[in-house]
Structure 1
Amino acid sequence: MELFEEHGVEAVAVDQIVAAAGVSTSTFHRFCATKEDAATCHLETAAEDLAGAVERRSGTTLLRAVRDAAQETLDAVEAPALDLRRTIAVCLQHPPLTARWLLVGRAGQQRLAELVGGAPTGPGTQRAEVLAAAVMGAVLTASEHWALDGGSLADHLDRCFAVLEPLDEPFPPRPRQT
């Protein structure tokens, strides 16, 4: 992160990363195909981790399940909180990493839509997809404000989820009456 912050993602070479990390190039490439992977690899597992954490919270409301799961998932990322904040901030400032950040959010949205809808997304799942998009938008917005503005992640999550309270429903959702 320090190299990316100081020089920009485009200007940093893999050789610089391996030197700073104290690992060989072959070790680096065993875990990361590109330098962008080095910055975002722990974020890319977050979508599935978030889905698992949400799934364990059935019996509450959708917003409570996702809000608590988001906090748990972000707390569990194997990087100190300051590094995670820096990672998100660097992702937002460098287009190649911004794209990866948005893909992580989209993957989380997809998995959440499947949980909300109780089935894979496809024809007839617009409601679940819209709810998931709104909720993941709140998670991403809270995470981005936390990374850029500081403060407590929990407070940012609470403020963003408060906006969505009119959309809240039991989780898992009750079957729709026809």
Structure 2
Amino acid sequence: AAAALLGGALRIETAGGLLASEAMAGSAAVDMGVPRWDWDAVPLAYAMDTAALPLAWEGLEAPAALSVGNPHVVFFVADAAAVDLARLGPLIEHDTVFPERVNVGIAQVVARDHMILRVWERGAGATLACGTGAVAAVAAAQRRGLVGSDVRVTMPGGDLVVTRRDDGHLLLAGPAVVAYTGAVDLERYR
């Protein structure tokens, strides 16, 4: 934790594996690894093309599906603000095609280096920001040739930057601030 406040290299253990990160004064960058595109890695209920799923939910069609440590579908739309995410998010999240449920991204490509993103996070609902959602949206846009290697992702809670390295790893960078300080007595929960 001290390294996060003062700066330096950290390894963060997540459910998706160990992530290398670099903390600087007021910001942090995390190596999110290489996205996984195999249908069973997402996972999906059955094999299909993850570049553009042959599925639609009302006006939302042909999303990309991938795993960046957790499952995501990304829809590309002309106006992200116009999508009724509160209504469609839960329908898509709980569709049987996603056996572990799914995070839903609504992405609008503004320029080759800028996207707008709204995310319905599985189990949480609409969120102000989602790091894995930003990484998934950029990876999907890069796979479709819509954006370049460095992309600013604007979400309701602020901006993040996703950069694709030559080895295919995606780096997530943005502001790092203390959101909460507290104490937990872990012995009480054994």
Shorter-chain TM-score category? under 0.3
More contact order relative to length (CA 8 Å, sep ≥ 6): 1
Greater gyration radius: 1
Q: Determine which structure has the larger helix proportion and give its number.
A: 1
TM-score by length of 1: 0.26
Q: Determine which structure has the larger strand proportion and give its number.
A: 2
TM-score by length of 2: 0.25
